[in-house]
Amino acid sequence: MSDLTRMTAAGLAEKIHSREVSAVEVAQAHLDRIAAVDGDVHAFLHVATDAALASAAMVDERIAAGAAPASPLAGVPLALKDVFTTSDMPTTAGSKILDGWRPPYDATVTARLRAAGVTILGKTNMDEFAMGSSTEYSAFGPTHNPWDTTRVPGGSGGGSAAALAAFEAPLAIGTDTGGSIRQPAAFTGTVGAKPTYGGVSRYGLIACASSLDQAGPCARTVLDAAMLHEVIAGYDPMDSTSIDQPVPAVVEAARHGAGGDLSGLRVGVVRELSGEGYQPGVRASYEDALRQLEKLGAELVEVSCPHFEYGLAAYYLILPSEVSSNLARFDAMRYGLRVDGGASAEEVMAATREAGFGPEVKRRVILGTYALSSGYWDAYYGQAQKVRTLISRDFAAAFEQADVLVSPTTPTTAFPIGDKVDDPLAMYLNDLATIPTNLAGTAAMSVPSGLADGLPVGLQVMAPALGEAVMYRVAAAYEAARNSEDGVVIDRVPSLEVSS
């Protein structure tokens, strides 16, 4: 394996910008790595070899001409979740209904990455329309966890997380509707952040549940995630829910945090997000993380969020309701698949959606249609919206007692492929600890907290809306302390080297 693929994004950027290596060499090293291992991992749905090399060459030219790089990440390769529109690459959202579709425009996230000179290597696998927690609901086959290829990498952004853990890319983009950035990060020993709702533009992000969806950075270190965060975040008039406020200074916070001192900081330990239902190894890793935070000078405060236990129920009403409405756009008339199912438009629509959607998407569309039906609306969707209020109030009360909250990111480590695919409710339980943040629109991230039985575990750090700076600071401090005590988690991932 080339050394270039083992480096951090920050380290690569420094070498590229000082002309020690070229962006083209860096891109080529990652493309070679993808060619060598992606047959086993299947992180990518599309690899954009020519476009990646062309983009990297432009960065090199600019630097050779003596100009400043377009951004601190110019020339660094990235894997983009296939839910963002790209005008020069296919965009499928993991669905057959969009197989072969080429969007006529770039998502704002895509456009910002291009403007920053980031090398987009290709598009990553995901659960269909981001519905799932294992990437098994992709219409194009599952992604395999580089830690153990018989296991899932989490989902929906399993492709992005697996690409990082397999050293196919140092950076990736995910989207998090109920945990789809954080849960795969936990399952693969990588870092993933869900920004405050409205922090990163949703323009060109194929919608799952519009009031919950949020794009965010994925990386192997907290600092790399922070650098990517600053490239993609910020106000966008093309998204009417975009927050018109300055982006929190997360890179500075991550650098400051790595210094290691958390004295004076109050860390809230959420009573309802640990204990029963959490795998013993996950609990042990969490206890150890709490001890380390205390050693860094943080004051641990136990907080109670009594309504979090209703989060999962509220989420699985709100999400399918929004999904059933959002996915109505796949009508076989304007773009995407059309199946000849009869003479009328309605018959063609029904036949196309039947053929183009997978089982989890159909399940959620039907569930959402039910929850929004007259007669059931009050009991289901209406009540779920009230639970959403109660969860926001729980967060508000907790953040009066603590600067950040922590919990394990997931109740278990990565499970075997095929284990939960026919048991939707068991699959949904994966997102127990991550969902409250989406319902409240606050920020949270997952950072590796070691291994349990040889598989990675994540620590979740939650912050108030626009509180990303303190979130990154705590995550960076914890990461540095954990690494110096026990070594870097991702360094223990199997090499995946293919014999030739």
Catalytic residue at 81? Answer: yes
DSSP 145: B
Determine contact, residues 302/435, Cβ cutoff 8 Å: no
Nearer to another protein, 229 or 353 (CB): 353
| Least distance from another protein to the Cβ atom of residue 67, Å | 27
Nearer to another protein, 295 or 386 (CB): 386
Look at the block and give the residue holding tokens 């992604």.
143
The structure tokens listed for 62 are 């600019």
| Least distance from another protein to the Cβ atom of residue 391, Å | 9
Query: Of residues 180, 285, 324, 446, which has the active-site annotation?
Result: 180
Specify the 3-state DSSP secondary structure of 215: strand
| Least distance from another protein to the Cβ atom of residue 214, Å | 10
446: phi then psi, degrees, rounded to nearest 5: -115, 135
| Least distance from another protein to the Cβ atom of residue 76, Å | 30
Look at the block and give the residue holding tokens 């960076």.
476
Nearer to another protein, 75 or 464 (CB): 464
Dist CA 114 CA 168 (whole Å): 19
Nearer to another protein, 284 or 390 (CB): 390
Determine contact, residues 171/219, Cβ cutoff 8 Å: yes
| Least distance from another protein to the Cβ atom of residue 126, Å | 20
| Least distance from another protein to the Cβ atom of residue 108, Å | 14
Nearer to another protein, 23 or 435 (CB): 435
The structure tokens listed for 337 are 């698949």
DSSP assignment string, 449-500: EEEETTEEEEEEEEE-TT-HHHHHHHHHHHHHHHHHHH--GGGGS---PPP-
Q: Among residues 253, 265, 314, 302, which one has the least CA distance to residue 468? A: 253
State the helix-helix crossing angle for 108-115 and 222-232, rounded to 10 degrees. 110
Dist CA 265 CA 402 (whole Å): 8
Catalytic residue at 156? Answer: yes
Catalytic residue at 194? Answer: no
Nearer to another protein, 154 or 336 (CB): 336
Nearer to another protein, 4 or 337 (CB): 337
Whether residue 156 is preceded by a cis peptide bond, meaning omega within 30 degrees of 0, is: yes
Determine contact, residues 162/152, Cβ cutoff 8 Å: no
Query: Of residues 81, 123, 194, 420, which has the active-site annotation?
Result: 81
Q: Among residues 72, 74, 26, which one has the least CA distance to residue 53? A: 26
Dist CA 215 CA 201 (whole Å): 7
Dist CA 112 CA 470 (whole Å): 24
DSSP 98: G
| Least distance from another protein to the Cβ atom of residue 462, Å | 14
Active site residues: 81, 156, 180
